[in-house]
């Protein structure tokens, strides 16, 4: 049951329960309802609109465990006005929240298939809830592979999670960096290289892809080259948003509203609008 949405346009006050720095420009906040209202459920891939009072509002995906609705977790990269303000938040500070909104990673439809997760940079944050879900229901999936790309070893997000996924016997996780620095002894090169090295059955594979759009474009090409068709590839489109509920038209392209019909789309359904730079 979703108890967070009262009027989807009015932000509800939340308090920062914890703040954790992940990387030099990336942090994770855990939020709790300021008024003691009940926690809400969300699906992997959904997002909230976070309102930094006096500054503005931004869409941010949930990055926590969907099985634990008591924790509202967001991982944010500071890239501009609002996200820089959010980075200054500390325990006990208040922000506004609307949500959850949008479509989700089709974790249930992917059951019975091999699952390939291709991600890069901050793109791992919107996918982490899907990974938690899949690992909780591990037996329902065939092979599970995670391919993650980062700029340098210092930019690897959720390193502890990646290490623990890598250490499991029932899945495959690999990380590559664009530039090897320090004593990095792992792969160097783009994340698409990992896809071609992975051993999975492309004809029975579902792929979830999230990262910078250019990374997603090349990942889709690589998956296609291996035989994974566009109806089995899902991507998350991050376009600017205002209302997040399909009212203002800010994110609209033809009949498609990225906020309401997305952000997670089956690739064959948006491949025409995918290359459009600004909606």
Ligand X SMILES: Cc1cc2nc3c(=O)[nH]c(=O)nc-3n(C[C@H](O)[C@H](O)[C@H](O)COP(=O)(O)OP(=O)(O)OC[C@H]3O[C@@H](n4cnc5c(N)ncnc54)[C@H](O)[C@@H]3O)c2cc1C
Contacts of 77-85 spanning 24+ positions with Cβ under 8 A: 77/25, 77/26, 77/121, 77/122, 78/25, 78/26, 78/27, 79/25, 81/55, 81/56, 82/50, 82/52, 82/55, 82/56, 82/57, 82/58, 83/58, 85/52, 85/55, 85/56
Q: Which does 193 bind (CB under 5 to 8 A by kind): ligand X, another protein, ligand FES, none?
A: another protein
Paired with 172 in beta bridges are 145
Is 248 among the residues that bind ligand FES (CB under 6 A)? Answer: yes
Please answer whether residues 44 and 236 qualify as being in contact, where contact means their C-beta atoms are separated by less than 8 angstroms. no
Is 56 among the residues that bind ligand FES (CB under 6 A)? Answer: no
Among 76, 243, 264, 270, binds ligand FES (CB under 6 A): 243
| Rounded-to-integer distance, Cα 96 and Cα 161, Å | 29
Q: Which does 189 bind (CB under 5 to 8 A by kind): another protein, ligand FES, ligand X, none?
A: another protein
Q: Which does 271 bind (CB under 5 to 8 A by kind): ligand FES, another protein, ligand X, none?
A: none
Pairing of strands 114-120, 144-150: parallel
Q: What is the DSSP letter of 162?
A: H
Stretch that binds ligand FES, among 6-14, 26-34, 137-145, 245-253 (CB under 6 A): 245-253
Q: Which of 35, 89, 37 is nearest to 58 (CA)?
A: 89
What is 98-144 written as a DSSP string? Answer: EEEES----TTTTTTSEEEEEEEGGGHHHHHHHHHHHHHTGGGSS-E
Is 273 among the residues that bind ligand FES (CB under 6 A)? Answer: no
- Give whichever of 132 and 265 is closer to ligand FES, judged by the CB atom: 265
Binding residues for ligand FES restricted to 96-135, rule: CB under 6 A? none
Q: Which does 239 bind (CB under 5 to 8 A by kind): another protein, ligand FES, ligand X, none?
A: ligand X
Q: How far is the CB of 220 from ligand X (least distance, A)?
A: 18
Element (H, E) at 173: strand 172-177
- Give whichever of 1 and 185 is closer to another protein, judged by the CB atom: 185
- Give whichever of 120 and 262 is closer to ligand FES, judged by the CB atom: 262
Residues that bind ligand X (CB under 6 A): 47, 56, 58-61, 75-77, 79-83, 122, 125-126, 238-241, 263
Q: How far is the CB of 159 from another protein (least distance, A)?
A: 15
Residues that bind another protein (CB under 8 A): 25, 79-80, 120-121, 149-151, 155, 178-180, 184-190, 192-193, 196-197, 211-212, 214-215, 218
Residue-wise over 177-188: b if at least 16 C-beta within 10 A, else e? beeeeeeeeebe
- Give whichever of 100 and 120 is closer to another protein, judged by the CB atom: 120
Q: What is the DSSP letter of 14?
A: E
Q: How far is the CB of 214 from another protein (least distance, A)?
A: 5
Stretch that binds ligand FES, among 50-58, 77-85, 95-103, 242-250 (CB under 6 A): 242-250
| Rounded-to-integer distance, Cα 49 and Cα 51, Å | 6
Query: What six digits make up the tokens of 74?
Result: 């967001």
Residue ranges that bind ligand FES, judged by CB under 6 A: 241-244, 246-252, 257, 259
């Amino acid at each position: 049951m979703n108890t967070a949405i009262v009027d989807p346009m009015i932000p509800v006050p939340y308090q920062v329960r914890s703040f954790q720095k992940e990387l030099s420009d990336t942090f994770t906040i855990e939020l709790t309802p300021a008024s003691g209202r009940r926690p809400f459920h969300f699906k992997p891939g959904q997002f909230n609109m976070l309102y930094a009072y006096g500054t503005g509002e931004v869409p941010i995906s949930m990055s926590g465990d969907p099985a634990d609705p008591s924790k509202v977790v967001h991982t944010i990269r500071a890239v501009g006005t609002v996200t820089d303000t959010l980075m200054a938040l500390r325990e006990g500070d208040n922000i506004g929240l609307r949500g959850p909104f949008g479509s989700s990673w089709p974790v249930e439809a992917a059951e019975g298939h091999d699952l390939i997760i291709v991600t890069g940079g901050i793109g791992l944050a919107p996918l982490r809830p899907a990974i938690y879900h899949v690992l909780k229901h591990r037996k329902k999936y065939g092979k599970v592979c995670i391919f993650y790309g980062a700029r340098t070893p210092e930019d690897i997000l959720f390193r502890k999670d990646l290490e623990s996924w890598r250490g499991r016997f029932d899945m495959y996780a690999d990380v590559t960096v664009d530039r090897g620095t320090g004593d990095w002894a792992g792969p160097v090169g783009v994340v698409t290289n990992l896809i071609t090295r992975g051993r999975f059955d492309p004809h029975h594979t579902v792929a979830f892809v999230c990262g910078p759009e250019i990374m997603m474009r090349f990942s889709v090409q690589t998956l296609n080259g291996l035989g994974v068709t566009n109806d089995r590839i899902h991507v998350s489109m991050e376009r600017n948003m205002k209302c997040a509920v399909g009212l203002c038209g800010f994110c609209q392209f033809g009949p498609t509203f990225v906020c309401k019909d997305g952000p997670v789309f089956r690739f064959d359904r948006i491949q025409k609008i995918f290359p459009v730079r600004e909606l």
